[in-house]
């Protein structure tokens, strides 16, 4: 609902900027050795919260960019690139972590957000196909939840995605044979 009440491109510019800043600040903290567990949790919490606004806005912007005729192809390409990124991202991260350290990996991630923001800024707004904005009304969220709970075609995929998102995505195990710590040890790491 929040995404549908605002212009998606502007929302994405804001979320991508914040995500890039979180990566940059956290990466800088790691590079200088100023890491504490609460900072890791704070960065993860902020990153997760902003991502919860970013993902729906990104998906909602696709039809506005390509229009109805190309929507199926655009969604397929978006999913393909997202999955390729999921496969290649950890490889690039592993190389960066092994060569320059974890902090610089976050700094490189921050640079990737700059590229996305520049791409969003370069969109020709007059050529977009904007959807009408939804205005705030009482009981919208409850009504949406009632509809989802009452329709098995909606509820089933929601429950499945909640399960998969909670228990499988972003699960990164650390090998017990790897004795090298991802974060530099320093007196300030407590």
Domain boundaries, the chain: 3-136, 141-172
Provide the token pair at 22: 């979180």
DSSP label at 6?
Answer: S
Closest to 49 measured CA to CA, from 78, 88, 22, 76: 22
pLDDT at 5: 73
Quote the radius of gyration of the chain (alpha carbons, Å). Answer: 19
DSSP label at 177?
Answer: T
Provide the token pair at 163: 């399960």
Residue tagged 């700059």 (tokens):
114
Provide the token pair at 122: 């370069």
Measure Cα distances from 160 to 2, 80, 152 in Å. Answer: 23, 20, 12
> Measured between alpha carbons, how far is 152 from 4 in angstroms, rounded to an integer?
24
pLDDT at 158: 87
What is the residue-level pLDDT of the chain in tens, covering all 190 positions?
677 777 889 999 999 999 999 999 999 999 999 989 999 999 999 999 999 889 888 888 888 898 888 888 998 998 898 889 888 988 988 998 899 999 999 999 999 999 999 999 999 988 888 877 777 778 888 888 898 899 998 899 888 888 887 777 654 444 444 444 444 544 444 4
């Amino acid at each position: 609902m929040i995404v549908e009440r605002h212009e998606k491109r502007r929302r994405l510019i804001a979320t991508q900027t914040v995500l890039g800043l979180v990566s940059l600040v956290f990466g800088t903290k790691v590079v200088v050795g100023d890491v504490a567990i609460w900072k890791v949790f704070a960065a993860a919490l902020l990153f997760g919260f902003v991502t919860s606004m970013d993902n729906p806005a990104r998906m909602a912007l696709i039809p506005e960019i390509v229009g109805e005729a190309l929507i199926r192809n655009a969604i397929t390409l978006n999913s393909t690139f997202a999955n390729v990124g999921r496969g290649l991202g950890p490889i690039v991260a592993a190389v960066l972590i092994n060569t320059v350290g974890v902090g610089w990996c976050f700094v490189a991630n921050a640079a990737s957000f700059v590229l996305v923001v520049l791409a969003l800024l370069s969109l020709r707004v007059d050529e977009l196909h904007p959807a009408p904005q939804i205005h705030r009304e009482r009981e919208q969220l409850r009504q949406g939840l009632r509809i989802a709970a009452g329709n098995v075609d909606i509820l089933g995929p929601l429950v499945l995605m909640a399960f998969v998102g909670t228990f499988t995505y972003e699960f990164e195990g650390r090998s017990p044979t790897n004795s090298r710590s991802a974060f530099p040890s320093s007196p300030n790491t407590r």
